Structure 1
Amino acid sequence: MFDLIVIIRVSEGANIDPVADALSRMRPLCLAEDGCVSWEAYQSHQDPHRFVLVEHWASRADWEAHDSGDAIQKIYIPEIMPHIEREVHPSMRVHRPHEGVTE
């Protein structure tokens, strides 16, 4: 499993709704891609400029192939990237010793 957290900050308030709409349109495209286990976008209640993407991919190779898909090429790059700053964090779930790892 390859997990990814992406933190997005929309620079101008006028771009918040268009970015939210674009992220919403990306979801079904991402979920249809090979290896996409789940893909969710969240918007902060406290700071509407901030979005967090939580992605789970079957493998890093599947995530890397995602770059050439329609979600990235037709929506993310042209509609979102010009209006944001972002942090990309390949991540792993934190498990406590008493938790069984079933993933």
Structure 2
Amino acid sequence: MFDLIVIIRTTGPGNIAAVAEALDRMRPMCLAEDGCVAWEAYQSQADPRQFVLVERWLTRAHWEAHGEGPAIQDVYLTEILPRVEREVHPSVPVQSQPVGVSA
């Protein structure tokens, strides 16, 4: 599996509704893509300008192909990215010991 966490924060309060609406439209598009296991967008209750995307893909190659699909090309790049700052975190589930931590 290839898991990805994306943290985005709108650059102004006037962008919150537009970003939320675009993320809502992206969800079914992403879920319909080959290799998409899960795709969720969350909006922070503590800071409505902040959103967290949680994505799970069968492989990194599936996620990379997602970058060429309509959800990214027609919605994310044009409607969301100009309105946000973002952090992209390829991630792994926490097991008994986090990655990179030695006993």
TM (norm. structure 2) is 0.93
For 2:40, the equivalent position in structure 1 comes to 40
Q: Deviations over 1:3-54 (max 9, x none)?
A: 0000001011011000000000000000000000000000000000000000
SS at match of 1:3: strand
For 1:50, the equivalent position in structure 2 comes to 50
* CA–CA distance in structure 1, aligned partners of residues 85 and 8 of structure 2: 6
- 1:69-80 alignment, distance < 5 Å: 69-80=69-80
Structure 1: state its 5+ residue gaps. Answer: 98-103
For 1:28, the equivalent position in structure 2 comes to 28
Q: CA deviation at 1:96?
A: 2.0
Moved over 4 A (4+): none
SS at match of 1:47: coil
Q: CA deviation at 1:65?
A: 0.1
* CA–CA distance in structure 1, aligned partners of residues 76 and 2 of structure 2: 20
Q: Percent identity?
A: 65
* CA–CA distance in structure 1, aligned partners of residues 74 and 21 of structure 2: 14
* CA–CA distance in structure 1, aligned partners of residues 54 and 96 of structure 2: 21
For 2:15, the equivalent position in structure 1 comes to 15
* CA–CA distance in structure 2, aligned partners of residues 96 and 82 of structure 1: 39
Please say if 1:95 is aligned against 2:98.
Answer: no
* CA–CA distance in structure 2, aligned partners of residues 22 and 96 of structure 1: 37
Residue 35 of structure 2 aligns to which amino acid in structure 1? G
Aligned-residue Cα RMSD (Å) equals: 0.7
TM (norm. structure 1) is 0.93
Structure 2: state its 5+ residue gaps. Answer: 98-103
* CA–CA distance in structure 2, aligned partners of residues 11 and 72 of structure 1: 19
